[in-house]
Amino acid sequence: MHPATAKDKKPEGRGLRKREAEKMAAEESSILVGQKSVMNYVLATVIQFNQGVKRVSLKARGRAISKAVDAAEIVRTRFLPGNVDIAAVKIGSEKVGEPGKERVVSTIEIVLERK
């Protein structure tokens, strides 16, 4: 009976570890939108959602802000229509550059959430 129990337990143990890993992954993920083309960030976001992540944050600074909005809208309306909500949009400012040469750039964070 023991070998049978062991056999029964083995897949369960694996299942548990897998479920824990999924739980870790399932929480939150963040993508920094930069110089690449918008489709890179769209696909990165879709892949995250398909891997079970619940919330994906698109973050951008300066002129990449429009691209982050584009990526969020393309994911929401074309790739996963009806499955993704915009949970939050936050804007802010950040200081960049070396001391003495500091400038302020605007930032955005768009939180996409799987329904």
Residue ranges binding a second copy (CB under 8 A): 62-66, 69-70, 72-73, 77, 86, 89-93, 104, 106, 108, 110
Residue 101 host element (H or E):
none
Query: Is 23 or 78 the residue whose CB approaches a second copy more closely?
Result: 78
Query: Is 56 or 72 the residue whose CB approaches a second copy more closely?
Result: 72
Tell me how far, at minimum, the Cβ of 90 lies from a second copy, in Å: 7
Query: Is 5 or 93 the residue whose CB approaches a second copy more closely?
Result: 93
Tell me how far, at minimum, the Cβ of 66 lies from a second copy, in Å: 4
Closest CA relative to residue 115, chosen from 69, 55, 72, 58: 55
Length of the chain equals 115
Distance CA 68, CA 64 (A): 6
Q: Contact at 8 Å (CB) between 84 and 111?
A: no
Tell me how far, at minimum, the Cβ of 88 lies from a second copy, in Å: 8
Query: Is 25 or 113 the residue whose CB approaches a second copy more closely?
Result: 113
| CB half-sphere exposure, 112, CA atoms < 13 A | 31
Tokens of 26: 């399932």
Tell me how far, at minimum, the Cβ of 54 lies from a second copy, in Å: 20
